[in-house]
Chains A and B, each alone.
Chain A
Amino acid sequence: MSKTAKVTVDGRSVDVPDNSNALEACRAAGVEVPHFCYHPGLSIVGQCRMCMVEIEGMPKIAASCTVPIRDGMVIKTDTEKAHAARNSTMEFLLINHPLDCPICDQAGECKLQDNAVTGGLPVSRTSEARRQYPGYERTDIGKHVIADMTRCIQCTRCIRFCEEITETGELSFIERGGHTIVWTHEGRALDNELSGCAADVCPVGALTTKEFRFRKRAWWLDKTRSVCTGCEVGCNIAVEHKDRVVHRFIPRVNADVNDFWICDFGRFRSEELNEQELFRPVVRGKETSWGDAQDAIKAAVDAAQKDVLVLGSAKLSTETNWLAAQLFGKHLGANVEFVVDRGDRHRVKNKKADGNVAGWLEGYEAAPNSRGAEAAGVTRGGDTGALAAVLTGTLLPKVIIVLDAAFSAKAEDPAVIAALRKAGTLIVCSRRRSALAAAADVLLPVGGVHNDEGTFVNVQGRVQRFDCAYIPPPIVRTQLEILTHLGKKWGLFDTRWTARSVFEEMRATVPGYAGLDWDSPALVGSAPSASPAAPHDVLEAPAKGGLGLPALQEVGS
């Protein structure tokens, strides 16, 4: 903990880190000073002139974000002069704004709208023509982002994001004064790994993502805490959904992991969650009930006399993998293994965190939880191991159970499917129709990560919880449910078990989980923020909840 200083905000006294500015001190005291250009993840520029406050001993009104605090400083946000100053800035910002909230995606999570509604003048005093920006309206400036300069308030958050976070510098002020526009440098596109975050930081609807435009009014969205499954970095996200449809992913602040950001690859995977194609268990080509399917599995496994291979998955929670390891490995003596694809590099900026590459956290695996699966007692397979042996034909288990049909890109390879198919009974859990699903003797319909809850262990060894956005469609189950039901068949598990009770059960034995609390901030992370432009900045970083598992040293080196 750095040194602290005592300041007074509107009569309330608070202790804040002595490197805070007055705006942050106000926040710490529970007073949110309206602002636009201030963003906790970006440098201070003091340009928007919205966060005006009075400070005792300073003759002039001051932009609070530009004032470093001192011990004993007295800040007043609620004075006539401070209100007048902020109202004035609002007036200036609105005289050229198109006020097209009814057709603007930002409406409902727009800082301009919020600050206009909570403060500002009730009337407009301008009768001059509003500024127009022909050629700079609703224009693609990159793969994901559309810009509309009529709405821009020149806060430079997006410019600073591209300079300071991605260090790609695509955006700039062009022209000057009232003619200022924010645009890409000539001939360049907004094209970087985190470009969607530029739309997040934009406090207004000047930058929006093509993927989310006109999809859903922001105020309808339900927000569920989750963790990105794109790679093992495990960026904290909010799954934003409505009426059982996922509309977008927005980063959730985690100072130790993804800070305020997520990469485009992870962000734009949200649509995959809406792709549920299988709704009923199928046994040998016939739709059937869960009871029949479970009986078929039990019969096959019992008959196989331990000659069973169960494929867990680095895409499933530690809890699910643990149940699989307990049931099939510990009690039934089967081989329980997982493999994980080494994918493209995905990364997120975090200047402060113990990233594996200076300033960045990098992930190379195409799944979020290989460390958790391993900790749960599932064997990490690869070039050697049971699956490898099956693929080379040296091992021929009587029963193969694939807990996640999307466990690897291999699952789409006809040669691999043919090898798995050689098992006497092939049991597959899947959301989607696929060649592997079609080849299964027993096909079990499962939901997606957003239909489940549990924990993942990220590249840093940090245990992170993801929550269930909504339960799977009728009849469809999660793998955790399937395993508790199956476990009951052997008299081992209870169908009332939940991810939480499994978590509590397995804590005693799973490395790195000892003493963890399902509800602790370290596991759950921060709450989804009301607006991507107003991230919940955790002033205190969540306590380290790490597994103590070694981070993959060779990754990224």
Chain B
Amino acid sequence: MSKTPVPKGFTPVHSARFGKKGSQKLAGYEADGGYASWKKVAKGWKSGDFTPAKIIDMVKASGLRGRGGAGFPTGLKWTFVPPKEKRGGKPVYLLCNADESEPGTFKDRLIMEEDPHQLLEGMLIASAALDVKHAYIYIRGEMVRCAEVLNEAVAEAYAAGYLGKDILGSGLDIDLTVHRGAGAYICGEETALIESLEGKRGHPRIKPPFPAVSGVWDCPTVVNNVETLAAVKFILDNGPEWFKGMGRNEKNTGPKLYCVSGHVEKPGVYEAPMGIKFMDLLALCGGMKGGKKLKAVIPGGASAAILTAAEVADLPMDFDGVAAAKSMLGSAAIMVMDETTDIPKAVTNISKFFAHESCGQCTPCREGTPWLNKMLKRLIKGEGKRDDLDLLLQISNQMGNGMTICVFSDAAIAPVISGITKFRDEFEAYLSKAKAPDFALAAPAEVTPKVADRVAEGIHG
């Protein structure tokens, strides 16, 4: 059983079987009651005891919100798929977003590596609800082990008749394919994921049309996160009321996996009811590392605005709670920073990530992310200029709010804006350390390293 501590009175859900011997195997999963819900659905399908509407209503009633980042109500998203008569004969696709690459996020990986069948069962139920004949798991390229475990689990599920044609005599035909990406952060954005699955470059699409209407291969498509789809299984196991019973309020419900990293005694994935207070979560992690003082927290992955120690002092870690503090729960990747952390350096590091991962379509993002990074790098090298902080903020403000196709650009600026506004004195300290010459004429021209490599390899030029 999971050795990770949980809050008092809370029984682990997603993580219940993590670490258990043979937890990945079908036999063990079934022994622990796995696939009971799927069997119920399959059995009730012909009799009409289970209908798509019934499942969708259960998901809606549970209050489940997407665990991939935006916290969009899952049941509502499912209703955006046009009814059969309006689809013009097109199939519906379900895509599980397993691209998990938001810095600080490592929860989906655990589900897939430790208990893959909970995801498969959730996907099967969702597929039945959405009239999906073929579902895909789009998994981040680097997660080789996950893909192996998943593929084994899929093979087991086919062999057991949970997947395939006329599943358990229900008349339902569902296939499931695990597709490995090539390791680009942007492929976690749902429309980039769709493009990538189609075999194209992972470029986010302009919306509308939204995937529910026209997604992969121009067919109605639902994209959900791993944890979201796994939660569907537990909602069917225990009922929507049970799910709703966990959590802070009607809109923030269910169990939640939190990925805690940084300056805590025991970093890791912790499961708790949605809306656990930050300080309680910190306590589960054994508190601050070495008893140091808390300085700042990134509550939802690199894309989330940095919060100060004061802002998290009484913060419920759920979608609306973190949003009220002008940041976001995102993928619940909580990065804890103690008093020794150099915020400008942390922000620079994050900006490097975004400059590296921008897909390059939109001018503000393609040009803005490296510009921010170059300025920040110069700043922490002690070559900052008086106007740099204001310029950083101005550029950031030019990159968000509709200026780009996807919200990557909005994500890229959140740490910069919050870092500078909340920890301005630290940035100014770098400015006061700045060396004399105020112009960069002598700076060597930047050479795109990959391009240079290609030339060296003689591939081009």
Contact = CB atoms under 8 A, between A and B. Distances in A.
Interface stretch (A134-142, A387-395, A505-513): A134-142
Interface in B415-461: 439-440, 443-448, 450-452, 454-455, 459-461
A176 B439 contact: no
Contact of A131 (B369, B448, B461): B448
A27 interface: no
B291 interface: no
Interface in A128-168: 128-136, 139, 153-154, 156
A125 B375 CA distance: 11
Nearest to B438: A127
B360 A126 contact: no
Most buried by A among B360, B385, B439, B445: B360
Nearest to A87: B398
A459 interface: no
Contacts of A186: 459-460
Interface residues of B, number: 48
A96 B358 CA distance: 16
Contacts of A179: 360, 448, 450-451
B330 to A, nearest CB: 20
B367 A49 contact: no
Contact of B206 (A46, A50, A95, A175): A46
A133 B454 CA distance: 11
B363 interface: yes
A181 B459 CA distance: 14
B401 interface: yes
B366 A177 contact: yes
Contacts of A93: 363, 367
Contacts of A219: none
Given A66-B206, A129-B440, A129-B443, A178 B184 contact: no
A130 to B, nearest CB: 7
Given A92-B368, A133-B451, A134-B452, A154 B360 contact: yes
B406 to A, nearest CB: 11
Interface string A166-187: 0000001101111111010010
A175 B201 CA distance: 10
Given A92-B398, A136-B461, A154-B366, A178 B360 contact: yes
A177 B357 contact: yes
Nearest to A66: B206
A62 B402 contact: yes
B460 A135 contact: yes
Interface string A461-477: 00000000000000000
B313 to A, nearest CB: 32
B362 A128 contact: no
B367 A178 contact: yes
A131 B447 CA distance: 6
A45 B447 CA distance: 28
B403 A131 contact: no
A47 B366 CA distance: 10
B99 to A, nearest CB: 15
Contact of A134 (B357, B439, B444, B451): B451
A177 B370 contact: yes
A68 B208 CA distance: 9
Nearest to A172: B201
B461 A88 contact: no
B439 to A, nearest CB: 6
- Which of the four size classes fits the interface of chain A? 35 or more
Given A60-B402, A93-B367, A175 B452 contact: no
Contact of B361 (A47, A60, A132, A172): A47
A178 B370 contact: yes
Output the residue of A49, A131, A183 with the most chain B CB within 10 A: A49
Contacts of A96: 367
A303 interface: no
Interface in B354-390: 355-371, 374-375, 378, 385
A259 interface: no
B37 interface: no
A96 to B, nearest CB: 6
B101 interface: no
B405 A47 contact: yes
Interface in A15-48: 44-48
B27 interface: no
B357 A176 contact: yes
Contacts of A92: 363-364, 366-368, 371, 398
Given A89-B364, A134-B455, A45 B206 contact: yes
A135 B370 contact: no
A127 B385 CA distance: 10
Contacts of B443: 128-129
Contacts of B208: 68
Contacts of A88: 364, 398, 403
Given A46-B206, A126-B371, A136-B461, A176 B358 contact: yes
Contact of A180 (B366, B402, B439): B366
A180 B359 CA distance: 8
Interface string A510-525: 0000000000000000
A442 interface: no
Contacts of A44: 206
A89 B448 contact: no
B403 A61 contact: yes
A510 to B, nearest CB: 49
B224 to A, nearest CB: 25
A52 interface: yes
A128 B440 contact: yes
B403 A153 contact: no
Contacts of A49: 362-364, 403-404
A319 interface: no
B391 interface: yes
B447 A132 contact: yes
Contacts of B357: 176-177
A183 B454 CA distance: 12
Contacts of B444: 129
Contacts of B361: 45, 47, 154, 156
Contacts of B460: 135-136, 183, 186
Given A49-B403, A127-B439, A129-B446, A178 B461 contact: no
A135 B452 CA distance: 8
Nearest to B208: A68
Contacts of B360: 154, 173, 175-180
B446 A131 contact: yes
Interface string B40-55: 0000000000000000
Contacts of A135: 451-452, 454-455, 460-461
Interface string B260-279: 00000000000000000000
Interface in A49-67: 49-50, 52, 60-63, 66
Contacts of A132: 445-448
A186 B439 CA distance: 39
A311 interface: no
Contacts of B439: 127
Contacts of A47: 361-363, 405
List 4 A-B pairs, minimum CB-CB distance, nearest first: A135-B461, A60-B402, A135-B455, A177-B358
Given A52-B403, A131-B446, 9 more contacts: A45-B206, A89-B363, A95-B367, A135-B455, A154-B366, A177-B365, A178-B367, A178-B369, A186-B459
23 contacts: A45-B206, A47-B361, A47-B363, A49-B404, A60-B402, A85-B403, A88-B403, A89-B364, A92-B398, A93-B367, A128-B375, A129-B446, A130-B445, A134-B452, A135-B452, A136-B461, A139-B461, A153-B363, A154-B360, A175-B448, A177-B360, A178-B360, A181-B448
